[in-house]
Chains A and B, each alone.
Chain A
Amino acid sequence: MALIFFLSLSLFIGGAVSSSKIKLSYGFGFAGSIGIFLIGCYTLVHPQPKILWAYPLLHNLVLTLSIDHLSAIFLVIAAISWMALALYSIDYSNFYAQKTLPLGFNISLVGMVLILTAQDGFTLMIGWEVMTIFAFLMMMGRDHPFEKAYRFLAFGEISTVFLLVGFSALYFTTGSLSFESMNKGSLFALVMISLGFIVKMDIVPFHGWMRGIYGEIPDNTAALLSAPVTLMGVYGLERIIPLLPNNETWDIILILLGAFSAFWGSLHAAATNKLKLLPAYSTVENNGIILAAIGFYALAGNFLSGNLHYLALFAQAASIVMAISHTFSKTLLFMSIGHAKEAYNVHTIDEARGVWSGVGRIPAFGIVISALSFSAFPPLIGYAGEWMVLETLFQSYRFPSTSLAFFSALAGVFIALAIGIIGFAMVKLIGYTALGYDHGRKSLKIPSRLMHIAELSLELILVLGGIALPFIIILLGFPHLLIGLLGIPAPLVLASGQPVFGVISPTFIGLIMLVLLIIPVILFVKTKKKVRKVNSWNGGVKLEEKEYFSAAAYSQILEHVLRGFYKTREIKDKTYRRIKVEDVLIRPMTALPRLVKKIGERVASVLMNGKISTYVTYILILFITVFIIGMIVM
Chain B
Amino acid sequence: MIKWWPLYGLRRKLTEQKKYISPVKLRNATTKIFHRSLFIYILDAGSSNALNFEINALESPQYNIHRFGIYFTDSPRHADVLLILGRPAKAMLEPLKETISQFPEPFYIITIDDFPDHPGLMDYPELPNHVAALTGVPSPSQILGLLLDISKTKRR
Contact = CB atoms under 8 A, between A and B. Distances in A.
Interface of A: 534-535, 537, 539-542
B77 interface: yes
B16 interface: no
Contacts of B95: 539-541
B96 A537 contact: no
Contacts of A541: 95, 98
A537 B43 CA distance: 14
Contacts of B76: 537
Contacts of B77: 537
B75 interface: yes
Contacts of A535: 98, 101
Interface in B31-70: 43
B28 interface: no
A601 B79 CA distance: 70
Contacts of B75: 537
Nearest to A539: B95
Contact of A534 (B43, B94, B96, B102): B102
19 contacts: A534-B101, A534-B102, A535-B98, A535-B101, A537-B75, A537-B76, A537-B77, A537-B102, A539-B95, A540-B43, A540-B94, A540-B95, A540-B96, A540-B98, A540-B99, A541-B95, A541-B98, A542-B94, A542-B98
Interface in B71-123: 75-77, 94-96, 98-99, 101-102
Interface of B: 43, 75-77, 94-96, 98-99, 101-102
A537 B73 CA distance: 14
A534 B97 CA distance: 12
A541 B94 CA distance: 8
Given A537-B75, A540-B96, A540-B99, 6 more contacts: A534-B101, A537-B76, A540-B94, A541-B98, A542-B94, A542-B98
Contacts of B96: 540
A492 B43 CA distance: 66
B116 to A, nearest CB: 24
A185 B76 CA distance: 77
**Most chain A CB atoms below 10 A, which of B43, B77, B98, B99:** B98
B96 to A, nearest CB: 7
Grouping DSSP codes into helix (H, G, I), strand (E, B) and loop, the A interface class, with mixed when no group exceeds half, is loop
Contacts of B94: 540, 542
Nearest to A538: B98
B127 to A, nearest CB: 15
A539 to B, nearest CB: 8
Contacts of B102: 534, 537
A539 B44 CA distance: 12
A275 B99 CA distance: 34
B86 to A, nearest CB: 15
| Chain B CB within 10 Å, residue with most, of A539, A540, A542 | A540
Contacts of A539: 95
B44 to A, nearest CB: 11
Nearest to B99: A540
A534 B96 CA distance: 14
A541 B75 CA distance: 13
Contacts of B98: 535, 540-542
Contacts of B99: 540
A535 B101 CA distance: 9
Nearest to B76: A537
Contacts of A540: 43, 94-96, 98-99
A534 B103 CA distance: 10
- Leading 6 A-B pairs by shortest Cβ distance: A540-B95, A540-B98, A540-B99, A534-B101, A537-B102, A534-B102
A537 B75 CA distance: 8
A540 B76 CA distance: 9
A526 B43 CA distance: 40
A540 B96 CA distance: 7
A146 B23 CA distance: 77
A540 B95 CA distance: 4
A539 B99 CA distance: 8
A540 B89 CA distance: 14
B75 to A, nearest CB: 6
A220 B76 CA distance: 48
B104 to A, nearest CB: 9
A541 B77 CA distance: 15
Nearest to B105: A532
A289 B105 CA distance: 53
A535 B102 CA distance: 8
Contacts of B43: 540
A537 to B, nearest CB: 5
Nearest to B77: A537
A304 B11 CA distance: 107
Contacts of A542: 94, 98
B43 to A, nearest CB: 8
Nearest to A542: B98
A483 to B, nearest CB: 57
Nearest to B104: A532
Contacts of A534: 101-102
Interface centre among A534, A541, A542, by most chain B C-beta atoms within 10 angstroms, is A534
A32 to B, nearest CB: 56
A309 B102 CA distance: 66
A539 B94 CA distance: 11
B73 to A, nearest CB: 12
A534 B98 CA distance: 9
A534 B95 CA distance: 14
A542 B93 CA distance: 13
A525 B94 CA distance: 36
Contacts of B101: 534-535
A530 to B, nearest CB: 10
A535 B98 CA distance: 9
A85 B107 CA distance: 54
A393 B54 CA distance: 74
A542 to B, nearest CB: 6
A541 B97 CA distance: 10
B149 to A, nearest CB: 27
Nearest to A541: B95
Nearest to B96: A540
Nearest to A536: B102
A537 B102 CA distance: 7
A255 B98 CA distance: 58
B84 to A, nearest CB: 12
A542 B76 CA distance: 14
B92 to A, nearest CB: 8
